[in-house]
Structure 1
Amino acid sequence: MPPGPASALAIAPQPLPYVDRLPLRPLSDIDLAVVHCTELPDMAMAREYGERMLYPEAGTGASGHWYVDRDGAIVEYVPAERIAHHVRGWNPRSVGIELVNRGRFPQWYDSRHQAMDEPYAAAQIDALVALLLHLRTVLPALRLIAGHEDLDTDRVAASDDPALEVPRKRDPGPLFPWARILAAVPLTRLRP
């Protein structure tokens, strides 16, 4: 994605191997940014996960568009004009932004490990704000923002006790600074 007119935001393009197999769409179709956390310990594991072929019929996997590391570095795995698989039911109209954060790793569905207690680094949140402001300049219809947990509210059997249920998705989680983001970026939070 070309930078906006006054943008000096550093985004390192690192396209996933299957990026050309992801469907194209007009940028004017994108009205929603979805914030995720990787629920993995580092960027290397996030990349490894993004490269996995989870949809053999299409030869693609699950990934966000941009990944923001704890130090504020931003990497683009999928350009905005491609539809990435990052949130069920909302992909055609959205872009996904993944914040590196361990979340519930490695026991995502264990009922005893549902706390998401790693705080987001200040540099990471600053970079997210800068990225969202940049996206507002290059995506003409972008007006909404949501957390993954706002859009995927399914519950699944707990891995430690199938009689219990836990949220399938909890990201970006309870420590994500929604008030700061919404005050800094002119987007409306979508909570269907």
Structure 2
Amino acid sequence: MRKTLYIISLSTLVFSCTSQKNIKKNTYRPKTPVSQPKTVTNSASQEKIKPQITKESGVEFFTTNIADITKNDNTVSYGSIVSAKPAGYKVVKTHFPAIAQNFRQKYLILHYTVLPDDKSITVLTQQGVSAHYLVNNLGDNEIYQLVDENKRSYHAGVSAWRADKNLNDTSIGIEIVNMGYTANAAGLKTFQPFSDDQIKKVAALAKDIVTRYNIPATNVLAHSDIAPTRKQDPGPLFPWKKLYDEYQIGMWYDEAAKQNLLTLAQTDISTKYNEPSFVYMVQIALQKFGYAIEGSGKWDDATKKTIEALQYHFRPQTYDGIMDAETWAILQALNQKYPTK
């Protein structure tokens, strides 16, 4: 009996000691430091530090890009920040700007005025047509700005290129003082040349615009490209190849690619020219490149004018609107180099 009581007492003592040890372990807390460190917010939830908005004479500007330029997602502003002023409330820019945005300016469109300098200014500032810039023919170093780049000017009219329409909404327009063309009784057009001073101005201006807005080569266009059935400007004497070669502005085909395609193009023209299937193929190739044209399978007026627009831009030596072998090879070379994405 005594032995049994001894064992029970010993078991109770062991259990008691074990329990005390566990209690001490579970209830132990380190001493609270005298000064607590500041709570650190999770870095994943911290907002990225953004460049500051600048203010000049009470007008706010934000001129730093914090987004991905390769995607044309840009937060750069080339004008003052326009903000709402709701009655009784304050608009704050604590979280300005959001990175999910891009420029309105996707295209650069070149025109001629068909008017002398003084009348060009009057018409483009006082009537229902305008452009962002006007390049005069006075031999000076001035370029006239007529419309804020952040605003729509009325220069493109009914227009389309690839998937986009109404290009006033998404473009900057440059008008160049030039008298356009005269036509003889047979309808043959004779165009007026541009001065070297004008081309230098246009090149410098275009280079600045396409660089700032990251405008791709495929979106630097003639008015005749985006409205081929209505317009001819800036015509075949505008030096697109010079802008491409010397200033890296706009599109041009690769000569080697054109030469490789020329033999087959000659065969197509000589053997298939009047076949509806070939005409349709040409129309689809023009459409693929960017022109707004329907596939009718006929050499209709719209197709002829669209071919003429292509020739103004890329084969200015002959601009008769006839799809000859060289024009056909050039169009295919352009589609190889600038495929629709």
TM-score (norm 1): 0.65
Structure 1 unpaired stretches of 5+: 5-25, 54-60, 155-167
Partner AA of 1:38 in structure 2: T
Aligned with residue 197 of structure 2, among 104, 111, 123 = 123
Q: CA deviation at 1:174?
A: 1.1
Aligned with residue 82 of structure 1, among 151, 155, 159 = 151
RMSD after superposition: 2.8
- What residue number does 1:138 align with? 212
Aligned with residue 117 of structure 2, among 39, 43, 50 = 43
Q: CA deviation at 1:67?
A: 0.7
C-alpha spacing 1:191/1:184, structure 2 compared with 1 (3 Å): farther
Q: Distance in 2 between matches of 1:111 and 1:51?
A: 34
Q: Distance in 1 between matches of 2:192 and 2:142?
A: 18
C-alpha spacing 1:169/1:188, structure 2 compared with 1 (3 Å): same
C-alpha spacing 1:111/1:37, structure 2 compared with 1 (3 Å): farther
Q: Which of the pair is proportionally richer in helix?
A: 2
- What residue number does 2:239 align with? 177
Contact 2:207 2:249 in 1 (8 A): no
C-alpha spacing 1:47/1:183, structure 2 compared with 1 (3 Å): same
- What residue number does 1:164 align with? none
Structure 2 unpaired stretches of 5+: 1-60, 64-100, 158-165, 252-288, 292-341
- What residue number does 1:91 align with? 168
Q: CA deviation at 1:29?
A: 1.6
Q: Distance in 2 between matches of 1:184 and 1:63?
A: 29
- What residue number does 1:19 align with? none
Q: Distance in 2 between matches of 1:147 and 1:115?
A: 17
C-alpha spacing 1:95/1:62, structure 2 compared with 1 (3 Å): same
Task: Report the number of matched residues.
Answer: 144
- What residue number does 1:73 align with? 142
The structure whose Rg is larger is 2
Partner AA of 2:173 in structure 1: G
Q: CA deviation at 1:111?
A: 6.5
Q: Distance in 2 between matches of 1:111 and 1:31?
A: 40
Give secondary structure in 2 for the equivalent of 1:78: coil
Q: Which of the pair is proportionally richer in strand?
A: 1
Q: CA deviation at 1:112?
A: 6.0
Partner AA of 2:135 in structure 1: V
Identity %: 25
Partner AA of 2:226 in structure 1: L
- What residue number does 2:178 align with? 101
TM-score (norm 2): 0.38
Partner AA of 1:48 in structure 2: T
C-alpha spacing 1:31/1:101, structure 2 compared with 1 (3 Å): same
Q: Distance in 2 between matches of 1:112 and 1:100?
A: 26
Contact 1:116 1:174 in 2 (8 A): no
Q: CA deviation at 1:51?
A: 3.2
Q: CA deviation at 1:137?
A: 3.7
1:93-146 CA deviation, whole Å, 9 max, x = no partner?
Answer: 1000011001137x8xx976762421111111011111011113432x322200
Q: Distance in 1 between matches of 2:131 and 2:185?
A: 26
